[in-house]
A and B are shown apart, each in its own frame.
Chain A
Amino acid sequence: MGEAIRLTPPLTDADVERLQIGDRVLISGVIYTGRDAAHKRLTDLIQAGESLPFDIKGQIIYYVGPSPPKPGRPVGAAGPTTSYRMDAYAPELIRLGLKGMIGKGARNQQVKDAMAEFKAVYFAAIGGAGALMAQAIKKAEIVAYEDLGPEAIRRLEVEEFPVIVVNDVRGNDLYEEGVKQYAITG
């Protein structure tokens, strides 16, 4: 495993173009959270021609619904949720300038096509390692949809948040390549 690449959003086209599947990346700075319900609301705003609750250009959305924080902590456990549920909404956000998504599990072809066309990448975080992932989250504040509870959009300040590039801008997919490499057939 090579040296990890360090990234701080907002990301540029050049930032994401140099990423390749399998790259280990440490993200520091601000990322935003969003799950199914928040994505639906963002999409409704876009369709109504209204502005989004945060400037999405160059940003990274982390598919997570953290558990409640203990007193004095920003979040409880905070690992990724399964990403395919956001596939219906992601291409539009990518078109508007979203540069990265963090989750777990494969994306559909429409999302992969949008990532190639508008230059964005998809990262995997370790699913089910919520206690560990939370160690990299230093601050959390709700920026929209507080009524959604765990699904509210949060602005997270992270330090060296560890992820792996699964889909790059060239249409490669680490899930497919990984299985090809390790499958035993016959």
Chain B
Amino acid sequence: MREIHLSQITAAVRDLTVSANTHLGQDVLEAFERAIAQEVSPTGKDILAKLIENAHIAQEEGIPICQDTGFAVVFVELGQEVHLVGGELKEAINEGVRQGYQEGYLRKSICHPFTRKNTADNTPAIIQVEVVPGDGLHLTVAPKGGGSENMSRVTMLTPAVGIPGVKDFVVQRVKESGANPCPPTIVGVGIGGTFEMAAILAKKALLRPLSSQNPDPELSTLEQEMLEEINCLGIGPQGLGGRITSLAVHVNMMPCHIASLPVAVNIQCHAARHKEIEL
């Protein structure tokens, strides 16, 4: 049994929270470069170039890429041979979030649903724990902005609609979202499972590096077909017109009930932030 002290987890979450918010992933920067080459709208090209400049300023000055430093979504892959010592996992993660948002000058954006009173430290985090084989512990911190999250939806389709019905739902969601979620977006799609699992699959799909191939050839084709349809919509960077409305569509799928076809669309703005570490 390997022991991991929870103070290590707090420190890791703190550091990942700050670096995710200030350092945009290389895969996203490369996707911006490809998008500039493909975009036909001069305004669109200009916006994409400014997004690259923005990422550089954020990194150099250690300030957030976007003022909406998001809800702290934390994925934990916990090896079953690991014994956590020195406290509680949930509290250790929340303490890391608390420290990261305070010390990193990140915006605290979490509030009571009705009174709108701010919790003042950006907790609670959204924590997903999965127990996996081995004695490792993998942490991913993915701050999620409100603007693109607001454009996300879960639906329970009729199985008869099949692949065309799923594609139509995804493309329509992007179309109706227009400029709101800060295009160019990344579209996470979860198909199957239950109501809540579809949403989790969609969120996890956003963690996959851009330009990576879906290992399932059928889903890879589906992703490409949906991306092409989305990029015919004309929404473009910031919704001001153009070809690059989304940088990628990522699909995760699992079996569902014989009565159901759950589909979730989790839209991610271009500030696609996530950082991970193996402890």
Per DSSP, are chain B's interface residues mostly helix, strand or loop, or mixed?
loop
Cα of A182 to Cα of B238 in the assembled complex, Å: 13
Cα of A173 to Cα of B160 in the assembled complex, Å: 38
Is A172 engaged at the interface, CB distance under 8 Å to the other chain? no
CB contacts (< 8 Å) of B105 on chain A: these are: 67-70, 76
Q: How far is the CB of A153 from chain B (nearest CB, A)?
A: 15
CB contacts (< 8 Å) of A82 on chain B: these are: 147, 150, 180
Q: Which of A67, A131, A164 contacts B57 (CB 8 A)?
A: A131
CB contacts (< 8 Å) of A180 on chain B: these are: 234, 241
> In the complex the two chains form, is B51's CB within 8 Å of A129's CB?
yes
> In the complex the two chains form, is B65's CB within 8 Å of A77's CB?
yes
Cα of A81 to Cα of B240 in the assembled complex, Å: 16
Per-residue A-contact encoding for B110-131, CB less than 8 Å = 1, 0 else: 0000001010100000000000
Q: Which of B36-44, B197-205, B252-260 contacts A (4 or more CB under 8 A)?
A: B36-44
> In the complex the two chains form, is A76's CB within 8 Å of B179's CB?
no
Is B233 engaged at the interface, CB distance under 8 Å to the other chain? yes
> In the complex the two chains form, is B182's CB within 8 Å of A128's CB?
yes
CB contacts (< 8 Å) of B50 on chain A: these are: 126, 129, 132
> In the complex the two chains form, is A181's CB within 8 Å of B57's CB?
no
Q: How far is the CB of A105 from chain B (nearest CB, A)?
A: 4
Q: Which of A106, A149, A178, A179 contacts B108 (CB 8 A)?
A: A149
Is A90 engaged at the interface, CB distance under 8 Å to the other chain? no
Is A64 engaged at the interface, CB distance under 8 Å to the other chain? yes
Is B46 engaged at the interface, CB distance under 8 Å to the other chain? yes
Per-residue B-contact encoding for A144-173, CB less than 8 Å = 1, 0 else: 000011100000000000001010000000
CB contacts (< 8 Å) of A134 on chain B: these are: 63
- A177/B241 contact (C-beta < 8 A), A70-B105, A128-B270 known: yes
Is B64 engaged at the interface, CB distance under 8 Å to the other chain? yes
> In the complex the two chains form, is A76's CB within 8 Å of B107's CB?
yes
> In the complex the two chains form, is A184's CB within 8 Å of B232's CB?
yes
CB contacts (< 8 Å) of B106 on chain A: these are: 67-68, 76
Per-residue A-contact encoding for B145-166, CB less than 8 Å = 1, 0 else: 1110010000000000000000
- A81/B61 contact (C-beta < 8 A), A68-B105, A68-B106, A128-B270 known: no
Q: Which of B66-74, B134-142, B218-226 contacts A (4 or more CB under 8 A)?
A: B66-74
CB contacts (< 8 Å) of A64 on chain B: these are: 67
- What are 9 A-B contacts defined by CB distance under 8 Å? A77-B107, A104-B182, A104-B238, A106-B239, A128-B51, A130-B65, A135-B57, A164-B240, A182-B242
- Contacts A66-B67, A130-B58, A182-B242 known; list 19 others, CB within 8 Å: A36-B116, A64-B67, A65-B68, A66-B107, A105-B239, A106-B239, A124-B239, A127-B182, A132-B50, A149-B108, A150-B107, A150-B109, A178-B43, A179-B233, A179-B234, A179-B241, A183-B233, A183-B234, A184-B232
